[in-house]
Amino acid sequence: MLNAGQIAEAYRRFGITPNTRHVIVVKILGAESQRNCSQIFAHLREHVLGKEIPLTDENIERRTDTGKVTKYYKLGGAAVSAEDGAARRRELELHVLAVMALRGL
pLDDT for the residue numbered 25: 82
Task: List C-alpha distances in Å: 67 to 46, 52, 60, 63.
Answer: 32, 25, 14, 12
Q: Taking residues 40-53, what's their average pLDDT?
A: 86
Q: Taking residues 14-43, what's their average pLDDT?
A: 80
**What is the three-class DSSP state of 35?**
coil
pLDDT for the residue numbered 82: 65
Nearest to 66 by CA among 56, 54, 55, 80: 80
Measured on CA atoms in the order 96, 84, 24, 29, is the torsion positive or negative?
negative
34-71 burial, b at 16+ Cβ within 10 Å, e below that, comes to eeeeeeeeeeeeeeeeeeeeeeeeeeeeeeeeeeebbe
Q: Is the pLDDT of residue 105 over 60?
A: no
